[in-house]
Structures are given as structure tokens and as C-alpha cells.
Amino acid sequence: MIYETSVPYFVHFLNSLSAILKKAEAHCAARKIDPAVMLNMRLYPDMFALTRQVQIASDSAKGAGARLAGIAVPSFPDDEKSFAELQARIAKTIDFLNTLTKEQFADAASRAVSFKAGGREMNFTGQDYLERWAKPNFYFHITAAYAILRHCGVEIGKPDYLAGGA
């Protein structure tokens, strides 16, 4: 059950994020906005910029998938500087998630999950990790990216967020 309530949802919303970023890139082109301006936008000075929100959403999805499957978390450098590079990162994350099998998640609910966050050691069972950390963190950063783009005037709405790139 852990697989069914994690991997397909991560893939779905990463596809939504990809579609939203395509609209943002088109918005920049249509209005002759330097894409770097939008990629570096943030909602408030102490919040992460759009690029970092996408990177963290990617990290959250691949980290959750790997930890719950009991395998090493793949490491991606955080060096994206364009919409194309963010799209490639999302695609690479989806490709990784699609390598995971339901069988790898057989004992994921009770599996011990430990990692460092903010300098602290975090310890969960797989079920608690998924529901109390991984999903909320993932959706937070997807939503922050959406909010930044909406704030910048990109014509997106809730259906774009929910559509899964359809």
C-alpha cells in the first residue's frame, strides 16, 4: 500500500510541475522576460527561489521513493539555471521513480527511516515518514513553485496543479 500512495502521486505531481514550468517558460518568451528573473523569483526574501523549490520537490520525491524502497537515495547536483535544466531534473526524477517496484515497498510501512534534516537526525517508521514528512514536504515545495509562478502572472490555476501534466 505504501508504493500505491507514494510513487504514483510523486510522478503525477512532478508531471504537473513540469507542465506548469512549460507555461512559465512560454510566459517569459511571450512577454520578453529574461527567464533568469522568473527562476530567481521568491515569494518573500527569506524563502527559496523558484529554482530551489523545484530542486527540493525533486529531492523530496526521489528521497522518499528510495528510502521507502530501502535503497540509496540518488544524488543530483543542484546546478540548474534554466527551464530546460529544471525539466531535465524533473524527468530524471520521474525516470528514477519509475524504476521502483511494488515489491521493494513490501515492508516499507514498518521500515526504519533515518536521515539528517536541518542538522538534526530524523527517525521515523516508513508510514510516519511518508505521511508526516515526505508527502507534506513534497507538496509544500510544489505549491510554493506554483505560487511563485502565479504571483509572477503566469496564467495557471488549480486545474494545472491537479492535472498531472495532462
Residues in contact with 114: Cβ distance below 8 Å, sequence separation at least 6, in sequence order: 121, 122, 123, 124
Q: Please indicate, yes or no, if residue 152 is contained in any of the structural domains.
A: yes
pLDDT higher at 165 or 82: 82
Q: Please indicate, yes or no, if residue 1 is contained in any of the structural domains.
A: no
> Average pLDDT, stretch 18-35?
98
- The count of domains in the chain is 1
Tens-digit pLDDT profile for residues 53-75: 999 999 999 999 999 999 999 99
Q: Please indicate, yes or no, if residue 95 is contained in any of the structural domains.
A: yes
pLDDT higher at 166 or 77: 77
Q: How far is CA 159 from CA 13, 129, 134, in A?
A: 12, 28, 23
pLDDT at 163 over 90: no
The secondary structure element, H or E, covering residue 57 is helix 50-69
Domain boundaries, position 78: 7-162
- CATH number for the domain spanning 74: value is 1.20.120.450
Q: Please indicate, yes or no, if residue 51 is contained in any of the structural domains.
A: yes
Distance CA 15, CA 71 (A): 23
pLDDT at 48 over 80: yes
Q: Please indicate, yes or no, if residue 146 is contained in any of the structural domains.
A: yes
Tens-digit pLDDT profile for residues 8-21: 999 999 999 999 99
**114, 121 in Cβ contact below 8 A?**
yes
Q: Please indicate, yes or no, if residue 33 is contained in any of the structural domains.
A: yes
Beta strands in the chain (DSSP E): 112-117, 120-125
Q: Please indicate, yes or no, if residue 2 is contained in any of the structural domains.
A: no
Tens-digit pLDDT profile for residues 72-128: 999 999 999 999 999 999 999 999 999 999 999 999 999 999 999 889 999 999 999
Q: What percent of the chain has pLDDT over 90?
A: 95
pTM score, whole prediction:
0.96
> Average pLDDT, stretch 151-161?
94
pLDDT at 164 over 90: no
Distance CA 89, CA 95 (A): 10
Which pLDDT score, from 0 to 100, does residue 4 have?
96
